[in-house]
Amino acid sequence: MLQRFLQPSVLGAISSLELVAKTVVDGFVAGLHRSPDFGFSQEFAEYRAYVPGDDLRYVDWNVYARTERMYLKRYLGETNSLLTILLDASNSMQFGSHSVNKMDYARYLAASLFYLAIHGQRDAAGLITFDDEIRNYIRPSTRQGQLHRLLAGLEQAEARARTDFSKPMRYFQELLSRRGIVLIVSDFWESPESIVRTIEPLRFRGNEVVLFHVLDPEDVVPRLNGPSILVDMETRQQLEVTPDYTKNEYREKVAAHLADLRDRTRAAGMGYYLLMTDRPLDEALREYLTLRGGRN
C-alpha cells in the first residue's frame, strides 16, 4: 500500500527540498520552523528587562550576577508545522480520461505530502476527507504510526455523493483549532465566489490555505466524436452537447472559470495551484514546494 502512494520516483524528486512553512505556528516540539513566539531554542533573540510577573526561569542569572539587574533572555522559538489536507471525495473526482483519475492523483499528492511532512520535517499531519459531509477525520499528530493512519485514511476515501463546501465548513473550523498549513485538494466544480467565501474563514484564523485544483485534461479540453449525451457524475443530469460547443464556447468558459478562481483565491491571501492529472506528480510537487520556498 505504501508503495502505491509513496512512489520512489515521487519521493526522490522532492526529498531534497525543504518544506518551509509560510506561517510560523506554535508548536510543542522544537524544530526547524521559526515561530513568532519566543521559547526554548538555542538561537538568541534579545534581552528584556524583568517586570513583575515574568517567569523567573527565563531570567539570565549570569547577567544579574555581573550587573545586579534582572534581564530575561529570549530566544527565537523553533517548532513543527501542522499540516492538514482537506481531500474532496466526491463523485466528480472519479473522472479520468487516462489511467490515473483525479481521485488517484489527489491520493498520490496527499500521500507524498504526508510522507514529506512526517519523515522529512517531523511535522504533525492530519487528514479530512469530505464530500457534502465530513467523511473521515484523522487528527494532526506526530505520533508513531501517524503516517500509516493517514495513508489508510486516504485508501478508505471512496468517492461518492457531491461536493458541497458550505456544509462541512463549520466543522472544519472546529477541527482546525490550531493554526497551520491547510491544503484543499479538489476539482472545485462550484462557483469561484462560493468557494472563496466558504474557505476564506480558515485564512482568517491564521492558517496558510492553499488550493490544489486537480483537473483531468478532458475537463478542460473535452473530446467528442459527434453530438453526444453527457452525464454529470455527481447529479446524473444529462445534457446533449455538440462538438462545436465544446470546441469553442466551453473552452472559453473553462478558461474564465479557472482565471476567476485563481484571482479570487489569491486576492483572499490563499495559494492556488492548478494540477492536471496528465502532468507528472513529482513535477507538480516540486513546482509547489519551490514556489512555497520562494514566498518565505
Partner 1 sequence: MGLFAPWFLAGLAGLALPFYLHLLKRQTRTPKAVSSLMLYESRTQSSTRHRRLRYFLLLSLRLLMLLLLILAFANPFINRNTASLASERLVLLVIDNSFSMRAGSRLADARDAAMSVLSGKGAARAQVAAFGSQLRLMTQPIEDQSALRAAVEAIQPGDGHGNFGELSRAVRAMAEAVHTPIELHLFSDMQRGDLAASFSDMALPANVNLVKHAVVSKAQPNWTVESVDAPGQVWGKDAKPVHVGAVIAGYGTPAAQRTVSLVVNGKTTAAKTVAVPANGRAAVDFPALEVPYGFSRCEIKIDAADGFPADDLRRFAVERSDPQKALLIHNYGDTRSPFYVGAALSAAAQSAFILESIVVNEAADRQPSNYAFMVLSDLNAVPSLLEHSLTEYVRSGGSILIAAGTSAGSRLQIPIFGAHIVETRDYSRVPDRYMAVGSSDSSYPAVARANGWTGVKFFYALAVDPGDARVIVRLGDQTPLLLEKRIGEGRVVLLTTGLDNLTNDFPLHPAFVPFIEQTARYLAGSERQGGARPVDAFLELRNAQERTQNVEVTDPEGKRPLTLGEAASAQSFQLTEAGYYQLRLANGRQDEVGVNPDPKESNLDVIPGDVLALWQGKGGQSSREAATPGAAAHKTPETLWWYVMLLVFVSAVAESALASGYLGTQREEG
Residues of the shown chain interacting with partner 1 in the complex, contacts defined by CB under 8 A? 92, 95, 102, 187, 189-190, 216, 218-219, 222-235, 237-245, 247, 249-250, 253-254, 257
DSSP SS3 for 31: coil
Crossing angle, helix 102-115 and helix 146-156, to 10 degrees?
A: 170
- Strand positions, DSSP E, 155-197: 181-186
The rounded Cα 254 to chain-centroid distance in angstroms is: 23
- State the minimum distance, in angstroms, from the CB of residue 196 to partner 1: 16
Residue 43 to residues 46, 72, 104, 110, 279, Cα–Cα distance (Å)? 10, 14, 43, 33, 41
Of 30 and 241, the one with the shorter C-beta distance to partner 1 is 241
Pairing of strands 134-141, 208-215: unpaired
What does the alpha-carbon distance between residue 140 and residue 152 come to, in Å, rounded to a whole number? 14
Kindly report the backbone phi and psi dihedral angles of residue 92, in degrees, each rounded to the nearest multiple of 5, phi listed first. -65, -20
Query: Do 102 and 133 meet the contact criterion of CB atoms below 8 Å apart?
Result: no
Of 202 and 275, the one with the shorter C-beta distance to partner 1 is 275
- State the minimum distance, in angstroms, from the CB of residue 222 to partner 1: 7
Residue 138 to residues 73, 152, 175, 195, 241, Cα–Cα distance (Å)? 38, 10, 10, 23, 42
Of 65 and 239, the one with the shorter C-beta distance to partner 1 is 239
Of 32 and 258, the one with the shorter C-beta distance to partner 1 is 258
Of 131 and 219, the one with the shorter C-beta distance to partner 1 is 219
- State the minimum distance, in angstroms, from the CB of residue 263 to partner 1: 17
- State the minimum distance, in angstroms, from the CB of residue 158 to partner 1: 17
Residue 69 neighbours by CB under 8 Å, 6+ apart = 49, 63
Of 45 and 230, the one with the shorter C-beta distance to partner 1 is 230
- State the minimum distance, in angstroms, from the CB of residue 195 to partner 1: 12
The residue length of the chain stands at 296
- State the minimum distance, in angstroms, from the CB of residue 84 to partner 1: 25
